[in-house]
Amino acid sequence: MHFAAIGRVPGDPILGLIDAYNQDRNPNKFDLGVGVYKDANGLTPILQSVKQAEQRLVDQQLTKSYIGGHGDSRFGELISELVLGADSPLLKAKRAGASQTPGGTGALRLAADFIAHCLPGRGIWLSDPTWPIHETIFASAGVKISHYPYVGSDNTLNVEAMLQTLEQAPIGDVVLLHACCHNPTGFDLSQDDWLKVLEVVRRRELLPLIDFAYQGFGDGLEEDAWSTRLFTAQLPEVLITSSCSKNFGLYRERVGALIVCAGDAEKLTDVRSQLANLARNLWSNPPDHGAAVVATILGDAQLKAQWADEVHAMRNRIAQLRSGLVEALAPFGLAEHFAHINLQRGMFSYTGLNAEQVQVLREKHSVYMVGSGRANIAGVDGTRLDALAKAIAQVCTR
Ligand code: LMR
């Protein structure tokens, strides 16, 4: 038999939680697993701006023909402006360009193949910890992975250790940085920290790959782009992976982009020719619908303003859930112990709960979170914060 030697691998540590949660019959269960935003009704809504854009597309779109290796050029321009700033000198000088990809994950995979094929021998440095799929994507592409310390076992950010390690990185290696809303920890670098990282990157001639999956979920659409714009203004070459899954709520439509910033327009064209070639072997043409929705929204002042308001509302709700959860933990004497939840940004919190506590939370209280202790705060039911706090308190005092 051909398949006789094939064994079984464990399910994905994050997506596997969707099934486990759905199968749980407990009506009082909590879904803090996969990074998906839920509103006050426990739904992951389709944004109103998205609904309107989709209606326009249904009425006006003329073809479903192939879209080309880099996707829709209008989408590429608009997403580049969102990330780099509408008046970015890079865009004026034609030094930056976006390739449309199936989600941020697709952008990462394209970047990984680009490094493996076009920058042979360069390793990549990932934060410890990082999103587990960063590890597997670069490993699959055959890129050597190393780690820089980020958040230690005391659940605090250790910038000094990060800088010291990067100071030892081989000249020319790639360093993956999370623009904002660090996944899984929620701990972000301060502006001061970013300036220090920039200096090391410059000294070691590292190529930054900035993963920007949560624009608008930290401090604001423009504010969250600060680090990316700093790096692209100060360095000649930068790679950026952008995702529209969360901020447009287009998770299943798979919309993202790999934005390349190169030294000049000629070099950008060279690099983009390689990306089109690599994408042809991965997915040929990227899926269109989600990117068409994003382009419709970003290309229309009224829809764009409406969308920005919707992102603002999602961000505010997450901030309220963070402070609400810490308040709910106060009667158990745990407000200080979990004060970091208020300092973290974006969807996720590295709670500091260990693997055993996470398991008990799941088995005894139907609270689902990733084994690392990562909780998706954006999935918390705000009307049941007391019950969640009680369950957390019980595993903390066991
Ligand atoms: C997450 O980390 O939960 C999200 O980015 C979803 C995913 O693809 O893992």
| Statement: 66-299 belongs to CATH 3.40.640.10 | yes
> What does the pLDDT profile of the chain (398 residues) look like in tens digits?
999 999 999 888 898 899 999 999 999 999 999 999 999 999 999 999 999 999 999 999 999 999 999 999 999 999 999 999 999 999 999 999 999 999 999 999 999 999 999 999 999 999 999 999 999 999 999 999 999 999 999 999 999 999 999 999 999 999 999 999 999 999 999 999 999 999 999 999 999 999 999 999 999 999 999 999 999 999 999 999 999 999 999 999 999 999 999 999 999 999 999 999 999 999 999 999 999 999 999 999 999 999 999 999 999 999 999 999 999 999 999 999 999 999 999 999 999 999 999 999 999 999 999 999 999 999 999 999 999 999 999 999 87
The identity of residue 108, as a single letter, is: L
**pTM value?**
0.97
**211 is a catalytic site residue:** yes
Helix axes of 103-118 and 265-282: crossing angle, nearest 10 degrees: 110
Are 129 and 150 spatial neighbours (Cβ–Cβ below 8 Å)? yes
Q: Report the residue among 12, 14, 254 best suited for mutation to probe ligand 1: largest number of ligand atoms under 8 A from its CB.
A: 14
User: Domain boundaries in the chain?
Assistant: 13-46+309-396, 66-299
Question: Which pLDDT does position 394 carry in this prediction?
Answer: 96
Question: Which pLDDT does position 298 carry in this prediction?
Answer: 98
Q: Report the residue among 19, 109, 133 best suited for mutation to probe ligand 1: largest number of ligand atoms under 8 A from its CB.
A: 133
47 lines ligand 1 (CB under 6 A): no
Contacts of residue 139, defined as CB under 8 A and 6 or more positions apart, other chains included, come to 145
CATH class of 13-46+309-396: alpha beta
**300 is a catalytic site residue:** no
Residue having the nearest C-alpha atom to atom 1 of ligand 1 = 35
299 CA distance to ligand 1 middle (Å) = 28
Give the span between the Cα atoms of 137 and 114, in whole angstroms.
12
